[in-house]
């Protein structure tokens, strides 16, 4: 595979994994535990709460690291583009802001995961 195809392949794999983890942690595990016990949700004996907390931490940390890498790479190219041509400032700001949006998406996913943690009895 060439570089671009390889990148999209890895991106597709990561997205599939994230979707599977997201679906399993929110509704799947709660329903699974409820179906196994046949009673109400047992907060202290369920793996749902730690898995949701770990998933939120992974969402924040990976998106933050990805945004930092994108901003480092794009920011370096942006500085060189602005030094060569000052009219490119508007385009460069938009591209750097798109890299920052990765961190915001991770924050939104983490907030959704944290709010789905079942409360203790």
pLDDT at residue 6, as a whole number: 84
Q: Would you write out the chain's pLDDT as a tens digit for each of its 121 residues? A: 677 788 878 888 888 887 777 766 666 666 666 666 555 556 656 677 788 888 888 888 899 989 988 888 888 888 888 888 888 888 888 888 888 888 899 999 989 888 887 776 6
Q: How far, in Å, CA of 30 to CA of 47, rounded?
A: 9
Nearest Cα to Cα of residue 109 among 53, 66, 59, 61:
59
The model's pTM? 0.59
pLDDT at residue 24, as a whole number: 67
pLDDT at residue 90, as a whole number: 85
pLDDT at residue 35, as a whole number: 64
Measured on CA atoms in the order 109, 115, 118, 119, is the torsion positive or negative? positive
The residue to which tokens 């991106």 are assigned: 11
Helix (H, G, I), strand (E, B) or coil at 116: coil
pLDDT at residue 23, as a whole number: 67
Q: What is the DSSP letter of 90?
A: H
- The structural domains of the chain, ordered by start, are 53-116 (1.20.20)
pLDDT at residue 32, as a whole number: 62
């Amino acid at each position: 595979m060439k570089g671009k195809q390889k990148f999209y392949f890895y991106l597709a794999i990561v997205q599939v994994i994230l979707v599977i983890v997201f679906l399993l942690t929110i509704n799947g595990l709660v329903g699974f535990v409820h179906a196994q016990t046949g009673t109400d949700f047992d907060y202290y004996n369920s793996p749902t709460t730690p898995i949701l907390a770990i998933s939120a931490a992974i969402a924040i940390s990976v998106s933050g690291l990805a945004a930092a890498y994108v901003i480092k790479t794009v920011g370096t190219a942006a500085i060189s583009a602005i030094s060569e041509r000052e009219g490119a400032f508007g385009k460069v700001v938009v591209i750097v802001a798109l890299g920052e949006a990765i961190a915001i998406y991770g924050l939104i996913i983490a907030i959704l995961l944290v709010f789905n943690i079942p409360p203790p009895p």
